[in-house]
Amino acid sequence: MTEVRDTAPARVTPMMEQYVEIKTANPDSLLFYRMGDFYELFFEDAEIASRTLGITLTKRGKHLGEDIPMCGVPVERADDYLQRLIAAGHRVAVCEQTEDPKEAKKRGAKSVVRRDVVRLVTPGTLTEDALLEPRRANLLVAVARARAETGGFAFGLAHVDVSTGAFAVGEAAAETIGAALARLDPAEILVPEALVAELAPATAETRAAVTPAARDLTDPARADARLAGHFGVATADAFGALTRAELTAAATVVGYLERTQLASRPPLARPVREGRGATMEIDAATRANLELTRTLGGDREGSLLSVIDACVTAGGSRLLASRLAGPLTDVAAIARRHDAVEAFVEAPDRRRAVRAALRAAPDLARAAQRIAFGRGGPRDLAAIRDALKAAEQLAARIDGLAEEGAEIAGVASTLARADHALARDLKAALADDLPLLKRDGGFVRPGASRELDEARSLRDESRKVIAQLQAGYADATDVRTLRIKHNNVLGYFIEVPQQHGERLLKPPHGETFVHRQTMAGAMRFTTTELGDLERRIGEAGDTALKLELDLFETLAARVSAGWDGLAACAGALAVLDVTAGLAEVAVDCGHARPHLDASLDFKLEGARHPVVERALKSAGKPFVPNDVALSEPELDAGLVQLVTGPNMGGKSTYLRQAALCAVLAQAGAFVPAKAAHIGVVDRLYSRVGAADDLARGRSTFMVEMVETAAILNTAGPRSLVILDEIGRGTATFDGLSIAWAAIEHLHEVNRCRSLFATHFHELTALARRLGRLRNATVRVKEWKGEVVFLHEVAPGVADRSYGIQVAKLAGLPPSVVRRAKAVLDELEAADRASPVERMIDDLPLFAATRPKPEAGPDPLAEALDAIDPDELTPKGALEALYRLKALQKE
């Protein structure tokens, strides 16, 4: 990143020589070079940081004859600046002083304090609260590719949340790698250098920083040894039957952490394998369209997650986001989650008590991780204390709430096994008011350590001790004006008026009082006793802090030793919070438990869009619920429902709420409907709305076609597809043709449950020949020339689009509205003269998919042409007829 020219024959200061050496070893990172109470940046690093952070760029001396650009940030506020630099896409190498400056001076007056990089700060390796979003996981994902056993290539994905230690691995096919990354929503992705370009389309769908991984990190031959070595086991087989791609990805992420964390190694849970197909596959475009965890603008507020997140802990919110991003496909696992939610729905008093206790539980997972990682402080110990206390209370409150083996029963068992002895010891050791940093001291409760109390007493009561000593000397010398004072040069000293000072130089006082300085009108002395007291007072603060830090390390060691149990307890608290929160939402918003099974059914009774419903409720308006039926008992495949109706009638809301109900149901939540029967959806597709993708040179229509192509090429019978206004981005007949062909493909090839909204009313006639196509329309009424949107969806077709009425409501000039109506009347008259509907009966289904043979000799036609009827005998005519029939069969 920074080019430091050091080849010219010019003098380089020892400090700058050290800087150049360290910077050269970290060329791709901004170097935070510790100098006293500041992290300084030099050369191009300083210019970049100055622009990004908005801080003053200064100069410090010269290097090779040129001024050295410099800027700095205080160590105390480094986290704030790191957060901004990381958010801007930079990596930062933190270079600390690794020895005391006093030790450096012993080597010579011009000796430079030893420094070294202790940590590389990257988007995926953050642990500090100030750098993290409390309610969002911060995942580091590694991608690896290997040849699959079934042939071809498979991609391994390993993801770690360094802030909690969670670790999981999985595998994805080439065509689903983008969807897999979109589900994880990582902060940073490690991609093998050779695959960066190939995977650019998939990684671009996320907001993650992409870090090319060096070949030595992604070498499959070293994977087993690296992963096993990190966890201290003989072989990676201890983690189960990982595929080669999964093993390589896991080893890559572990190797990257070892390389970036340098001074310490983060504790990680053993990798959990996520099977293929365990979650509903949702591609990046669909996630964006449905706004599952954030809006199209990138905000959390306004997303589905923001509406259903009633969690009272940060860990609960992170788990809920993960469940919403990856809804399950296993019916039994989904049912266990629904059972847990239902248990809390039916026990309102216990639900309220549990949520009240959870509010007192801090973020145990991140606090324990920071302590075990060596980056924690006193407040993290207090967070562990309070979370364990809450766990103890909660274990009793949920005991017996569910049957043995149910999810809540497992949570209760985990909470009951938490280290409550550690909680009691932390309570006994920690003070009520705690500093942020352990180096500030004062976090140990008085009475916790007799030795510490004595050191503190000497440190805190030094004034009283000095006053007593001063009174004793005044009595002994009979000098009432004797004072013990302090300055930074002499330290503590005794000061008396000069006339009394002359007397102190003589016996019997001369042996006790040692002369130090004569002033105008005063003399200064010291004594052995005062010098000893000064030393002890000076050491008392250091001694007290050392004793506190020793106690901190003892408690931290206990946290590290019990990290696995604390992580399990944190997970149980999160599950409990999610479950109780979803129950709260279900009760407050009138959500119902869905019936999930392995069928192809999809029926919603009185379904609602949860985000739109909340917005309308805030405005004092009701939401109009609608039924959705995409299956019928006698059919062996899903229905295609063609929805017509005016703009602003609610078609897009109707489509989206069906998809959101499927997501919520399979995530383990109740759904915004009176009743729901959903056959598990394996893949969810949504093409609702589009925008230009100028960065890739794609128009709105091209984006629409790319997304539609992905759906038609990959959707299967268990998929749920919602498509809105396909073909509207091009010429009318082009668009109509594309929409027509897409519906036929969904019906005949994909055979999936589909909702297809359109303004091409001509398509409704397809219901006459497509057996699983059903028409539905959004109802409207006209009243005194005005259109009234009822937002009700009913069987049938729309008579027109009411586009001009909507334009009038939008405020188009009256002259434009009148002219539009006149043009519409003329166009409709012309269209009636040449209706498109007759094509429905005349055009064979999928005719375009069975291309006619190229023009060439037709043996039947040639044989027929060769016959002269006038020359045929009755027998010859019969033989010719047989020959023609034989040719026809060929």
- CA dist., res. 34 & res. 329, Å (int): 51
Question: Which helix (H) or strand (E) is 472 found in, with range?
Answer: helix 462-477
pLDDT in tens, 373-406: 988 999 999 999 999 999 999 998 888 776 655 7
pLDDT in tens, 649-676: 788 999 999 999 999 999 999 999 999 9
pLDDT of residue 547: 93
Q: At what angle do helices 732-745 and 700-714 cross, to 10 degrees?
A: 20
pLDDT in tens, 281-331: 999 989 999 999 998 888 899 999 999 999 999 999 999 999 999 999 999
Q: Which residues are annotated as a binding site?
A: 645-652
pLDDT in tens, 584-636: 999 999 999 999 999 999 999 999 999 999 999 999 999 999 999 999 998 98
Tell me the mean pLDDT in the region 820-830.
73
Assess whether pLDDT exceeds 60 at residue 503. yes
Cis status, amide bond into 814, omega within 30 of 0: no
pLDDT of residue 7: 44
- CA dist., res. 778 & res. 789, Å (int): 8
Assess whether pLDDT exceeds 90 at residue 175. no
Q: Which residue has the higher pLDDT, 637 or 63?
A: 637
Domain boundaries, the chain: 14-121, 129-276, 309-419+562-589, 452-549, 595-800, 859-889
Instruction: Please give the structure tokens belonging to residue 233.
Output: 């086991």
Mean pLDDT for the chain? 87
Two domains, one topology: 309-419+562-589 and 452-549: yes
Assess whether pLDDT exceeds 80 at residue 805. no
φ/ψ (deg, to 5) at 630: -115, 20
Instruction: Please give the structure tokens belonging to residue 223.
Output: 């994977």
Which DSSP category does 696 fall into?
Answer: G
Question: Which helix (H) or strand (E) is 469 found in, with range?
Answer: helix 462-477
Provide CB contacts within 8 A for 658, sequence distance 6+.
602, 604, 607, 628, 630, 720, 722, 755
**For the domain bounded by 452-549, which CATH number is listed?**
1.10.1420.10
pLDDT of residue 693: 45
* Pairing outcome for strands 675-679 and 595-597: parallel
- CA dist., res. 594 & res. 607, Å (int): 11
Tell me the mean pLDDT in the region 38-42.
93
Residue type, 800: R
**Could you give the residue ranges of the DSSP H alpha helices within 715-802?**
732-745
Confidence band for 847, pLDDT divided at 50, 70 and 90: low
- CA dist., res. 244 & res. 171, Å (int): 10
% of the chain surpassing 90 pLDDT? 57
How many CB atoms neighbour CB 554 within 10 A?
11
How are strands ordered across the β-sheet holding 602-607?
A: 595-597, 675-679, 602-607, 626-629
CA 741 to each of CA 161, 699, 766, 838: distance values in angstroms, whole numbers, following the listed order: 45, 21, 11, 16
**Could you give the residue ranges of the DSSP H alpha helices within 72-192?**
78-87, 101-106, 177-184
- CA dist., res. 48 & res. 91, Å (int): 12
Assess whether pLDDT exceeds 50 at residue 730. yes
Provide CB contacts within 8 A for 669, sequence distance 6+.
308, 337, 341, 582, 585, 586, 591
Which DSSP category does 537 fall into?
Answer: H
- CA dist., res. 228 & res. 239, Å (int): 9
Residue position matching structure tokens 């999981």: 168
Name the fold adopted by 595-800.
Rossmann fold (3.40.50)
φ/ψ (deg, to 5) at 31: -100, 115
CA 495 to each of CA 463, 507, 541, 583: distance values in angstroms, whole numbers, following the listed order: 16, 18, 25, 75
CA 269 to each of CA 136, 157, 549, 571, 696: distance values in angstroms, whole numbers, following the listed order: 19, 16, 27, 12, 39
Assess whether pLDDT exceeds 80 at residue 639. yes
Tell me the mean pLDDT in the region 135-158.
89
8 Å CB contact between 117 and 21: no
Assess whether pLDDT exceeds 70 at residue 644. yes
Provide CB contacts within 8 A for 676, sequence distance 6+.
592, 594, 595, 603, 604, 605, 607, 661, 665
Burial of 64 (0-12, 13-18, 19+ CB in 10 A): middle
- CA dist., res. 765 & res. 839, Å (int): 10
Q: Which residues are annotated as a binding site for ATP?
A: 645-652
**For the domain bounded by 14-121, which CATH number is listed?**
3.40.1170.10
Classify 676 as helix, strand or coil.
strand
pLDDT of residue 8: 43
Assess whether pLDDT exceeds 60 at residue 1. no
Tell me the mean pLDDT in the region 407-434.
92
- CA dist., res. 665 & res. 327, Å (int): 8
Assess whether pLDDT exceeds 90 at residue 332. yes
pLDDT of residue 344: 94
Confidence band for 272, pLDDT divided at 50, 70 and 90: very high
Q: Could you write out the three-class secondary structure of 387-412? A: HHHHHHHHHHHHCCCCCCCCHHHHHH
Assess whether pLDDT exceeds 50 at residue 416. yes
Name the fold adopted by 309-419+562-589.
MutS, DNA mismatch repair protein; Chain A, domain 3 (1.10.1420)
pLDDT of residue 874: 75
Confidence band for 882, pLDDT divided at 50, 70 and 90: confident
Picking from 706, 771, 721, 744, the residue whose alpha carbon sits closest to that of residue 843 is: 744
Confidence band for 836, pLDDT divided at 50, 70 and 90: low
Please name every residue paired with 595 in a beta bridge, in sequence order, or none if there are none: 677
Strands (E), 258-403: 272-274, 281-282
Least confident of 184-188, 422-426, 437-441, 599-603: 437-441
8 Å CB contact between 631 and 621: no
Confidence band for 695, pLDDT divided at 50, 70 and 90: very low
8 Å CB contact between 323 and 654: no
8 Å CB contact between 721 and 755: yes
Picking from 545, 516, 544, 547, the residue whose alpha carbon sits closest to that of residue 530 is: 516
CATH superfamily assigned to domain 129-276: MutS, connector domain (3.30.420.110)
Classify 771 as helix, strand or coil.
coil
Please, which contacts does 79-88 make with residues 24 or more away whose CB atoms are closer than 8 Å?
79/128, 79/130, 79/131, 80/130, 81/49, 81/53, 82/121, 82/128, 82/131, 83/130, 83/131, 84/52, 84/53, 85/30, 85/49, 85/52, 85/53, 86/121, 86/122, 86/123, 86/126, 86/131, 88/52
Tell me the mean pLDDT in the region 775-783.
85
Provide CB contacts within 8 A for 585, sequence distance 6+.
308, 310, 591, 669, 670
Provide CB contacts within 8 A for 458, sequence distance 6+.
465, 536, 537, 540
Picking from 544, 164, 489, 478, the residue whose alpha carbon sits closest to that of residue 318 is: 164
Question: Which helix (H) or strand (E) is 357 found in, with range?
Answer: helix 348-358
pLDDT in tens, 476-497: 999 999 999 988 778 899 999 9
- CA dist., res. 552 & res. 437, Å (int): 11
CA 275 to each of CA 171, 210, 239, 322, 353: distance values in angstroms, whole numbers, following the listed order: 7, 25, 14, 16, 36
Confidence band for 108, pLDDT divided at 50, 70 and 90: confident
Assess whether pLDDT exceeds 80 at residue 234. yes
8 Å CB contact between 757 and 643: yes
Which DSSP category does 441 fall into?
Answer: -
Instruction: Please give the structure tokens belonging to residue 365.
Output: 């997972």
Assess whether pLDDT exceeds 80 at residue 203. yes
Burial of 565 (0-12, 13-18, 19+ CB in 10 A): middle
Assess whether pLDDT exceeds 90 at residue 111. no
Assess whether pLDDT exceeds 70 at residue 719. yes
Instruction: Please give the structure tokens belonging to residue 839.
Output: 């094509």
% of the chain surpassing 70 pLDDT? 91
Assess whether pLDDT exceeds 80 at residue 506. yes
pLDDT of residue 799: 67
